[in-house]
Amino acid sequence: MRRLNKKAVILAVAVLTVFLLALSAARGKYNFYWSERIVTVVLSPVEYVVSKVGYSVRRAGTTVGELFEVYRQNQALKAENENLRRAMLNDTEIVAENARLKAMLDYRKATPQFDTVVATVVARDPAAWTNVIVINRGTAQGVAKDMAVVTPQGLVGSVVQAYSNSAKVQLILDPRSAVGALVQRPESRVAAIVEGSPAKPLAPRMINIARDADIIKGDKVITSGFGGIYPKGILVGEVTDVVNEEGGLLKYAVLKPAADFDRLEEVAVIVRSREPVPALPGPAPAQPAPKGAGQ
């Protein structure tokens, strides 16, 4: 109803305006001046309303445009930030990888008696998470069964299966492994076997040590070279505890491994060693029977 009233008012104003204009034209210039003032007075509210509506529409259009521009700039900034974040992550990863590979290169220079093949850890055996890893080098790169695997920090394990371009490595943490080892300290040189501990998967043990053997906390343990798999002199770990076995004459030493098994990414396979293999002590020669014995 209000719309109809507004339309009627506008129509009446328009008709009145035309009438006044016609009347002014008929009566002359002076009368036209007064009729123009009347028209201005009558139409000024309408013009005001129309101008306000037009301004509001233009302002609304400008605001919407500004909002779209702000949204576009915001999306562009988000995309730029994401690209920068990815670039920083890539740069950080490259720096970390370069540091690891430089350590590998330094190890190769420091151990000229070893020929090594650098490999990347690509998987862990799901059946034995801490015991077996898979590397991306195999027989095509000279890797074979029973080769020692190391990092610049120390011993990792040995190859148990080799394929064309991959291999499985059994870690020294595996209870089935056995590493001939000895205490590096010159006053000690105690020799024994290092094997994985089922009770403490990340703490292998040096077992079958005589109760009175000279081994203490802080001793460094290295490979002895006995057995032919592990060359002599590779760091195995450090003694963190010495435990006497109950009801026996033996004890064992708990080791902290030299290699960081939680952060294995690259390893080196020793494909050839020029380190001499120590000879196992043989049986004592038989003593000749004294003359007259058995007579």
Q: State the 10-residue block means of pLDDT for the chain, 295 residues long.
A: 57 65 54 54 57 60 71 78 73 75 86 94 74 95 96 96 96 94 96 93 94 96 91 96 90 96 93 80 51 46
Considering the entire predicted model, what is its pTM?
0.66
Q: How far is 175 from 194, CA to CA, in rounded Å?
A: 9
pLDDT of residue 102: 86
pLDDT of residue 68: 73
pLDDT of residue 32: 47
**What architecture is the 114-273 domain classified under in CATH?**
Beta Barrel (2.40)
User: What residue spans of 168-264 are helical by DSSP H?
Assistant: none
Which is nearest to 148 in space by CA: 110, 107, 183, 116?
Answer: 116
C-alpha dihedral over 271, 275, 276, 280, to 10 degrees?
A: -80
pLDDT of residue 284: 45
Burial profile 3-20: b = 16 or more Cβ within 10 angstroms, e = fewer: eeeeeeeeeeeeeeeeeb
pLDDT of residue 82: 76
Q: What angle, rounded to 10 degrees, do the helices at 29-110 and 2-27 form?
A: 130
Phi and psi angles of residue 235, each rounded to the nearest 5 degrees, phi first: -70, 130
* Amino acid residing at 180: G
The angle at the Cα of 172, spanning 170 to 174, to the nearest 5 degrees, equals 70
Phi and psi angles of residue 118, each rounded to the nearest 5 degrees, phi first: -80, 135
pLDDT of residue 20: 60
Q: How far is 69 from 56, CA to CA, in rounded Å?
A: 20
pLDDT of residue 83: 77
Which is nearest to 209 in space by CA: 165, 245, 241, 184?
Answer: 245
pLDDT of residue 226: 87
